[in-house]
Amino acid sequence: SQQGEEDPQALSIQEGENATMNCSYKTSINNLQWYRQNSGRGLVHLILIRSNEREKHSGRLRVTLDTSKKSSSLLITASRAADTASYFCATVPTRTGGFKTIFGAGTRLFVKA
Amino acid sequence: NAGVTQTPKFQVLKTGQSMTLQCAQDMNHEYMSWYRQDPGMGLRLIHYSVGAGITDQGEVPNGYNVSRSTTEDFPLRLLSAAPSQTSVYFCASAPDILTTEAFFGQGTRLTVV
């Protein structure tokens, strides 16, 4: 089974609204990453948060990490139509020696103009 | 900058045929990996490599072989294609997996008939 599980599976919002996506994982991790995938394209890295960090910001993105709950959230503020994409969390578990990056099933975000 | 280059972009195989998906990176990254992505799902790790001459299995390795003779190249071989291997395949590379993001190729869409 996959390490990361995103919630919700799909999200539809109006342009200008905030979008929040959540990720839960099962084992202890070295780091957690968020990626974006536009339809039919490769994945683009958004942000990496280490296991000893609680929050990171990058432009309109805010990521939090709660290792006690084994969960992370990605907040996109003031969303734009161009943010329409699938968003994936990925974890590097410590138990495997830290050499495997495991992806969740993703959240499909649709931002209506 | 070329980044991660995958070839071919599209491929149709008959059941039982073999083929090699090519992946090359020009960033001198030690870590490379192969994923498959099925409709509505996240990426599942097939094989990965932490450096030339070193490979290991991921979550779904059966039916695939890899080798890493150089830092730049990480080909994925399908030994005897099956319809269950119809998928989009992504190659990724990273300087290391514990502290940095991964860079993805644009994918190879494979159909096995």
Question: pLDDT of A43-89, one tens digit each?
Answer: 999 999 999 999 999 999 999 999 999 999 999 999 999 999 999 99
> Is the model more confident about B52 or about A100?
B52
Terminal Cα distance for chain B, rounded: 35
Using CB atoms, which residue from A45, A50, A98 is nearest to B101? Answer: A45
Residue B11 has pLDDT above 90, yes or no: yes
Which of B98, B100, B103 to mutate: most A Cβ within 10 Å? B98
pLDDT at B104: 94
Residue B99 pLDDT > 90: no
Any residues with CB less than 8 A from the CB of B58 and at least 6 apart, and which? A100, B33, B34, B35, B44, B45, B46, B47, B48
What percent of chain A has a predicted confidence (pLDDT) above 70? 93
Q: Do B103 and A50 touch (CB under 8 A)?
A: no
The answer to whether residue A31 neighbours chain B at the CB level (below 8 Å) is yes
Residue B76 above 80 pLDDT?
yes
Query: How crowded is residue B3: how many other Cβ atoms within 10 Å of its Cβ?
Result: 14
Burial B23-47 (b: 16+ CB within 10 A, else e): bbbeeebbbbbbbbbeeeebbbbbb
Supply the pLDDT for residue A52.
Answer: 94
- pLDDT classification of A93: cutoffs 50, 70, 90: confident
The verdict on A48 touching B (C-beta cutoff 8 Å) is: yes
- Report the side by side order of strands in the sheet with A61-66: A4-7, A19-25, A71-76, A61-66, A55-58
pLDDT > 90: percent of chain B: 87
A43:B106 CB<8 A = no
CA separation, residue A57 to residues A16, B11, B71 (Å): 18, 40, 33
A51 touches chain B (CB under 8 A): no
B99/A contact by beta carbon, under 8 A: yes
Segment B23-50 shows an average pLDDT of 92
Tokens, residue B87 = 């998928």
Residue A1: what pLDDT?
Answer: 43
Amino acid B97: pLDDT: 72
Q: What are the backbone angles phi and psi of residue A83, rounded to the nearest 5°?
A: -80, -10
If you ran DSSP here, which 8-state letter would residue B84 be given? G
Q: Does B49 touch chain A (CB under 8 A)?
A: no
Classify residue B92 as exposed, middle or buried by CB count within 10 Å of its CB (0-12, 13-18, 19+).
Answer: buried
Q: What is the CA radius of gyration of chain B?
A: 13
Of A42, A98, A104, the CB nearest to B97: A98
Mean pLDDT of B1-21: 94
Output phi, psi for B31, to 5 deg: -95, 130
